Amino acid sequence: MITEFLQQVRVIDPVSETDQISDVLIVDGYIQAIAPQIADISADISIQDCRGLVLGNGLVDLYSHSGEPGFEERETLTSFLQAASAGGFTRVTVLPDTFPVIDNPALVAQLQKQIKLEESLHSSPHLQIWGAITLDLAGKQLTEFADLATAGVVGFTDSKPWENLGIVRRVLEYLQPFGKVVAFSPCDRHLSLNGVMREGGEALRIGLPPIPASAETGAIAALLELVANMRTPVHIMRVSTARSVELIATAKLQSLPVTASTTWMHLLLNTADVKSYHTSLHLDPPLGNASDVAALRAGVRGGVIDAIAIDHAAYTYEEKVQAFAESPPGAIGLELALPLLWQNLVATGEFTALELWRVLSNQPAACVQQEIKPIKVGEKAELTLFDPEQIWTVNRENLHTLSHNTPWFGQQIKGRVLQTWC
């Protein structure tokens, strides 16, 4: 029997809307007792002093990239899951853009077998799988939705902008009977062309090819028109502009079946940061202007943006050591997101702890039609223990991911996950 007693820990539970100091007793992975003070503790139970620490529901990542299969030099499933656990995540969902692409039940079954092995060996986070919408993500021929749904994918996405709006309409029509979420990353590539940075004054000063906000907002507007007509639930990924937040807010007021997410880096950084030309700031969609960041934060707090995704994308050193515009877009984040979001949003007083935890735990789960259980007696412990004051250096020795493509590499940051219960 494994018994853990957490004394005077700050329990943050957005499911039951509580934020309070409590004693928590966990026995064999289940919450046996939780109270402001637990007195009748056996003398042989080790007591962990948790004053100043935060205990919250396990974090949920809506979408991230796994290197395996196909790009194991970037990231293996083992390193991916270890990074997720170290970042406080108890559930992570991988995108289908592996090699081969996750577009058939056989590959889903193979990955599920490997996932079960990882979970049994390492008590790792639960790994979920997005199924591809089109074969090889080519955007032309649809996958067998029924077979993939039966195989157990959490939903469907190609994780990239669509080439043909007619295909999107067919997808919304065909997916109606399956009860699975379909996620789109909206961008009009005819407008974005070869751009790598949000259009505006900073792009002019820095001299990088710009992408107008309308590349995203035009695509979202077209998608919302289809949703209004078809009524198929959709999730809008990687929202990055102020106007996009307005469009989604209007859609929700009209009761359209829409959820949305932005990524953690789009809440923390803006175009002014790109002046360093650090290739880990090359993201898709690009970082927004300061007004976009303010609108995204307000959208998250107000519920227009349902969730914060990590969109972890590991790349090798050689892949990222290129000119900014030539480097592949993406950055790691599983181990960095919670500490940096907490220090920049909660410690500054802009967000409450409950507001941040909600969009990193139960609301991402709800976006894929799942739920996070409240922290109460009798429930299985799916929890994250976080020290918001611990200072550590982002370096190879302290990261579990195989790659280090992040603008915070080599820097000290404040806040670290101490333990997860998966």
Catalytic residues: 311
In sequence order, the β-bridge partners of residue 211 are 198
Please measure the distance between the N-terminal and C-terminal CA atoms of the chain and give it in whole angstroms.
Answer: 17
- DSSP result, 113-175: HHHHHHHHHH-PPEEEEEEPSBGGG-SSSB--HHHHHHHT-SEEE-SS--S-HHHHHHHHHHT
Burial class from Cβ neighbours inside 10 Å (0-12, 13-18, 19+) for residue 403 reads: buried
> CA 301 to CA 308: how far, in whole Å?
11
> CA 160 to CA 400: how far, in whole Å?
27
CA distances from 266 to 102, 250, 301, 311 (A): 27, 21, 14, 11
* Ramachandran category for residue 99: left, alpha or beta (phi over 0 → left; psi -120 to 50 → alpha): beta
Residue 65 tokens read as: 């990239």
Nearest to 238 by CA among 169, 168, 325, 329: 329
Nearest to 213 by CA among 199, 224, 202, 196: 199
Residue 201 tokens read as: 């004054």
| Dihedral Cα 241, 242, 245, 249, nearest 10 deg | -160
> CA 91 to CA 24: how far, in whole Å?
22
Interior angle at CA 223, CA 222 and CA 229, nearest 5 = 95
Q: What b/e string do you get for 230-249 counting C-beta neighbours within 10 Å, with b at 16 or more? A: bebbbbbbbbbbbbbbebbb
